């Protein structure tokens, strides 16, 4: 497998959950990489400082700006050879205006792809999501799904629709001619729900549990099993994809394709996963959902209707909607066999390591959470 020696990498969303994990892994594993460019709308000083401490002789360059700015994006890609496009607006409650999500997730991706063509960038890896697959509104289950399966899905949320549209754009650009006579190679990775250190969703669930007397809410039924993936293993998959796209013999086989990314985290419901991570910290979990699932859908529908009626006067976002409730209560798991076979991807971190790392991080955050909640 090719190394990334000499590559000039652009990482969008560089200070985000996955972005900084990937950059850290790049710096630790690819000692002869040419340059790593951190592209983010807000480059956090603490993230940059932590990376500076491990970079060795590798050049780190900061590009602070908005991927909706085509000129800025082209400047960031000038002289680059590889782009990891991770940045996006993640919104599962429809709290963000659809036009805002579209601008970042779709137009931002188009700007990056066009910049790659204009600036002779050889490889582009798009970070997609399992949500481009579903689940559909009927809650049709998938158990150990794969890339070639058929699944009826009409994506409803702005997030899933824009991520799907951006993924399609990224794969369509595979094979585009570059000014230097080469061709752009692209591929897309579809991780499951990503967890690990700095996961804001886990932090939110823990805060809710603290408010509820250290009892986690049950929002999903036990049988609605999914397979979350550890952030470190998602970073590993990105590096493997990059090495494949650089390798002339593998490039044609991998380019233009998407791959599901999971690991050996047990198949488990979202709520029971939260409990598995947080039970060592003394948290319990509700035995059953607060209301039967059919009634929960009725409540969500009523919330959505009230918010819709208020929309001309004030934007109110319900804490949960029917699409999110379906996602939380649909068995929806996917295999990483194709990524293993074609990318050479093998999870670096076991479930035990991933769980321990995540729980330790949450243990550090717990006193801060309690203090903030007590103040309120």
Residue 344 sits in a domain whose CATH number is 3.40.50.720
Q: What is the model's pLDDT at position 109?
A: 98
Residue with tokens 């700006």: 65
DSSP code for 121: -
Q: d(Cα 27, Cα 54) in Å, to the nearest integer?
A: 7
Tell whether 285 is covered by a domain. Answer: no
Tell whether 183 is covered by a domain. Answer: yes
Number of domains making up the chain? 1
Tell whether 44 is covered by a domain. Answer: yes
Tell whether 86 is covered by a domain. Answer: yes
Q: What is the model's pLDDT at position 1?
A: 56
Domain boundaries, position 62: 8-200+228-265+333-349
Tell whether 355 is covered by a domain. Answer: no
Q: What is the model's pLDDT at position 376?
A: 64
Tell whether 52 is covered by a domain. Answer: yes
Tell whether 359 is covered by a domain. Answer: no
Cα dihedral across residues 323, 321, 93, 358: positive or negative: negative
Catalytic residue status for 349: no
* pLDDT tens by residue, the chain, 376 residues: 578 999 999 999 999 999 999 999 999 999 899 999 999 999 888 888 889 888 888 999 999 999 999 999 999 999 999 999 999 999 888 888 889 999 999 999 999 999 999 999 999 999 999 999 999 988 899 999 999 999 988 777 899 999 999 999 999 999 999 999 999 999 999 999 999 999 999 999 999 999 999 999 999 999 999 999 999 999 999 999 999 999 988 998 999 999 999 999 999 999 999 999 999 999 999 999 989 999 999 999 898 888 888 888 888 888 888 889 999 999 999 999 999 999 999 999 999 999 999 999 999 999 988 888 777 6
Tell whether 37 is covered by a domain. Answer: yes
Q: d(Cα 76, Cα 368) in Å, to the nearest integer?
A: 37
pTM beyond cutoff 0.85: yes
Name 194's Cβ contacts closer than 8 Å, sequence gap at least 6.
17, 18, 228, 229, 230, 231, 234
Q: d(Cα 76, Cα 79) in Å, to the nearest integer?
A: 8
Out of 126, 151, 159, 270, the active site residue is 159
Q: d(Cα 198, Cα 134) in Å, to the nearest integer?
A: 25
Q: What is the model's pLDDT at position 375?
A: 72
């Amino acid at each position: 497998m090719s190394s990334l020696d000499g590559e000039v990498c652009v990482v969008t969303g560089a200070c985000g959950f996955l972005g900084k994990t990937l950059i850290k892994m790049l710096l630790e594993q690819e000692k002869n990489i040419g340059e790593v460019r951190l592209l983010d709308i807000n480059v956090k000083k603490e993230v940059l400082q932590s990376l500076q401490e491990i970079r060795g002789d590798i050049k780190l360059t900061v590009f602070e700006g908005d991927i909706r700015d085509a000129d800025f994006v082209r400047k960031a890609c000038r002289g680059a050879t590889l782009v990891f496009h991770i940045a996006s607006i993640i919104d599962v409650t429809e709290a963000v205006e659809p036009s805002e999500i579209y601008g970042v997730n779709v137009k931002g991706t188009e700007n990056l792809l066009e910049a790659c063509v204009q600036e002779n960038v050889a490889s582009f890896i798009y970070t997609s999501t399992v949500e481009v697959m579903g689940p559909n509104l009927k809650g049709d289950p998938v158990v150990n799904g794969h890339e070639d399966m058929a699944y009826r899905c009409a994506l409803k949320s702005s997030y899933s629709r824009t991520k799907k549209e951006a993924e399609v754009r990224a794969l369509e650009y595979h094979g585009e001619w570059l000014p230097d006579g080469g061709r752009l190679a692209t591929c897309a990775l579809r991780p499951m729900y990503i967890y690990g250190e700095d996961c804001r969703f886990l932090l939110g669930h823990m805060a809710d549990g603290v408010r509820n007397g250290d009892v986690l809410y049950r929002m999903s039924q036990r049988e609605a099993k999914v397979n979350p993936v550890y952030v470190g293993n998602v970073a590993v998959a990105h590096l493997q994809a990059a090495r494949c796209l650089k390798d002339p013999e593998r490039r044609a086989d991998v380019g233009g394709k998407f791959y599901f990314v999971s690991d050996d985290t047990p198949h488990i419901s979202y709520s029971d996963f939260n409990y598995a991570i947080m039970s060592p910290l003394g948290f319990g979990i509700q035995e059953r959902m607060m209301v039967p699932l059919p009634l929960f859908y009725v409540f969500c529908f009523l919330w959505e209707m009230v918010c819709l009626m208020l929309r001309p006067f004030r934007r109110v976002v319900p804490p949960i909607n029917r699409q999110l409730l379906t996602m939380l209560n649909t068995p929806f798991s996917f295999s990483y066999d194709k990524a293993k076979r074609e990318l050479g991807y093998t999870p670096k971190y076991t479930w035990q390591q991933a769980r321990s790392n995540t729980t330790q991080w949450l243990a550090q955050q717990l006193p801060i959470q309690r203090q903030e909640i007590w103040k309120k």
